[in-house]
Amino acid sequence: MNSDFTLAIHSLTLLALQPDRMSTSDAISESAGVHPVRIRKVLSLLKRSGIIKSKEGNGGGFIFALDPGEVSLWEIYKVTSEGTLQPKCPVSNEKCIVGANMHRVLFLIFLGAENHLGEYLKGYTIKEMADLIKQGQ
Amino acid sequence: MNSDFTLAIHSLTLLALQPDRMSTSDAISESAGVHPVRIRKVLSLLKRSGIIKSKEGNGGGFIFALDPGEVSLWEIYKVTSEGTLQPKCPVSNEKCIVGANMHRVLFLIFLGAENHLGEYLKGYTIKEMADLIKQGQ
DNA sequence: TATACTGTAATAGATATAATTACAGTAGAA
DNA sequence: TTCTACTGTAATTATATCTATTACAGTATA
C-alpha cells in the first residue's frame, strides 16, 4: 500500500490534536520522520480536496478545514492512493487465452477489492485515530 | 499489492486449464511475460503449501494437486503476499505522542483491513478465474 | 549418457520511492 | 520596507525494492 496514505493519516491526526493553531511542514515532518517537502506534497492533495487549509508566510502552516469526526480513512485513501491496490501486471502474451484476458479479469477483481476495502476504511475517522493515539499514552 | 499474487493467479489459472498434463515454467513464463526463474520461485511457494505438485527432469513441470474449485484467491494471497498490505512506515519520533503510537495503531487497522479483504477474496476460486477467462474469448 | 526439466543462490539491471536542492511566492513582524 | 518564516513546486540525486539474468546442482526420462 502507498505510504502517502499513512503519511496523510499521521499528518491529519497531528492536526486534529492541534485544532487551534497551524502546524508547519517542519513540525509534522519531525513527528513523522520524513522530509518536510514530502509533507507539503501530500498535504497539498488534502488541501485540494478541502480537508485542510494552509497559509503561506510567517506564522503559516496547515490546519483542519473540516470536523475530524467527519473525515474517514476511505476519503483519505481516495485522495492519496486510489488505484494503488491494482497490481501492475507485465505485458502478457496476447496469443495465449490466459495472457490475453487475465489483465481485464484481474482489473475488475481488484476494483471490487478496493471498494470492499472502502467499506472497512469508512469505519475509521481521524477523530477516532486521534482518540486511539491518546489511549496509547 | 505484491505482483507475486497476480503471477500466482495467472499460473494457477493456466494449470487449471491444463488439468491433464504438466506445464513447464518456460511455457507459463511465455504466457505471463516474466522470466521462468520467477515462475519457479512463485510456484515453489504454492507447492510448499500443497496447492500444486511439481516434477523435475525430462517431461516434468507443474500440475494442480487440488481441485481448482477448492482454491480461493484468499489462500493464494496468504501464501504469496500475506502482510504486504501493511505499509512500511518510516521510523517516527518517539518523543511525539503521534509518532510514538501511530505505528501500532496503523498496524492493527491494516491487520483488520487484510482480514476484511480476505472475505472478498474468498469469493473467487481458481475455477471461477478459469471460467471468466474462457468467457472472455 | 544426452536431454529437458526443477530448485535455488548470487548478481546485475531496472524501476519506483524518497530525500535533497533550489527557488519563486506570500505574509507577518521588526 | 525589509527581514524572517512559511508554502508550493520542479528538478535532481540517492536509495530501496523489484525483476531479470546467469550459473549450476539435482532429477527424471528416453
pLDDT in tens, A28-45: 999 999 999 999 999 999
Q: What gap in Å lies between CA A6 and CA B130, rounded to an integer?
A: 36
Which residues in chain B touch residue A121, judged by CB atoms under 8 angstroms apart? 113
* B27 contact A CB<8A: no
Q: How confident is the model at residue B109 (pLDDT cuts 50, 70, 90)?
A: very high
From the number of C-beta atoms within 10 Å of its C-beta (0-12, 13-18, 19+), residue A45 rates as middle
Amino acid B91: pLDDT:
83
Q: Is the pLDDT of residue A137 over 80?
A: no
Asked if B23 contacts B63 with a C-beta cutoff of 8 angstroms, the reply is yes
CA distance A48 to chain B (A): 24
Q: What is the DSSP string of B21-75?
A: S-B-HHHHHHHHTS-HHHHHHHHHHHHHTTSEEEE-STT-EEEESS-GGG-BHHH
| CATH code, domain with A47 | 1.10.10.10
Q: Which nucleotides of chain C have an atom under 7 angstroms from any protein CB?
A: 2-10, 16-22, 25-29
User: How many CA atoms does the CB half-sphere of A106 hold within 13 Å?
Assistant: 24
Judge: B92–A120 Cβ closer than 8 Å, yes or no.
no
Q: How confident is the model at residue B137 (pLDDT cuts 50, 70, 90)?
A: low
Amino acid A136: pLDDT:
72
Judge: B90–A9 Cβ closer than 8 Å, yes or no.
no
Amino acid B22: pLDDT:
97
Q: How far is C-alpha B73 from the chain's CA centre?
A: 7
Q: Is the pLDDT of residue A93 over 90?
A: no
By Cβ distance, the residue of B92, B129, B134 closest to A32 is: B92
Q: Is the pLDDT of residue A134 over 70?
A: yes
CA A7 to C1' D6, in angstroms, rounded, equals 21
CA A38 to C1' D9, in angstroms, rounded, equals 11
Q: What gap in Å lies between CA B78 and CA B76, rounded to an integer?
A: 5
* A13 contact B CB<8A: yes
By Cβ distance, the residue of A34, A106, A129 closest to B6 is: A106
Q: What gap in Å lies between CA A71 and CA A75, rounded to an integer?
A: 7
Q: What is the DSSP string of B6-18?
A: HHHHHHHHHHHH-
Q: What gap in Å lies between CA B84 and CA B19, rounded to an integer?
A: 31
Q: How confident is the model at residue A110 (pLDDT cuts 50, 70, 90)?
A: very high
DSSP label at residue A24: -
Q: How many CB atoms lie within 10 A of CB A57?
A: 6
More confident residue, A1 or B104: B104
* A2 contact B CB<8A: yes
Inter-CA distances, A60 with A29, A64, B114, Å: 15, 13, 38
The C-alpha cell that represents B113 in the structure block: 483491513
Q: What gap in Å lies between CA A124 and CA A9, rounded to an integer?
A: 11
Amino acid A33: pLDDT:
96
CA distance A28 to chain B (A): 10
Residue B83 host element (H or E)? none
Residue B88 host element (H or E)? none
Q: How confident is the model at residue A99 (pLDDT cuts 50, 70, 90)?
A: confident
Judge: A101–B137 Cβ closer than 8 Å, yes or no.
yes
Amino acid B16: pLDDT:
98
CA distance B41 to chain A (A): 17
Which domain, by its residues, includes A130? 3-135
Q: How confident is the model at residue A128 (pLDDT cuts 50, 70, 90)?
A: very high
The C-alpha cell that represents A54 in the structure block: 494552509
Amino acid B2: pLDDT:
87
Compute the average pLDDT of residues B103-126: 96
Residue A85 host element (H or E)? none
Q: Look at chain A and report how many structural domains it folds into.
A: 1
By Cβ distance, the residue of A98, A105, A110 closest to B17 is: A98
Judge: A117–B113 Cβ closer than 8 Å, yes or no.
yes
pLDDT in tens, B30-83: 999 999 999 999 999 999 999 999 999 999 999 999 999 999 999 999 999 999
* B86 contact A CB<8A: yes
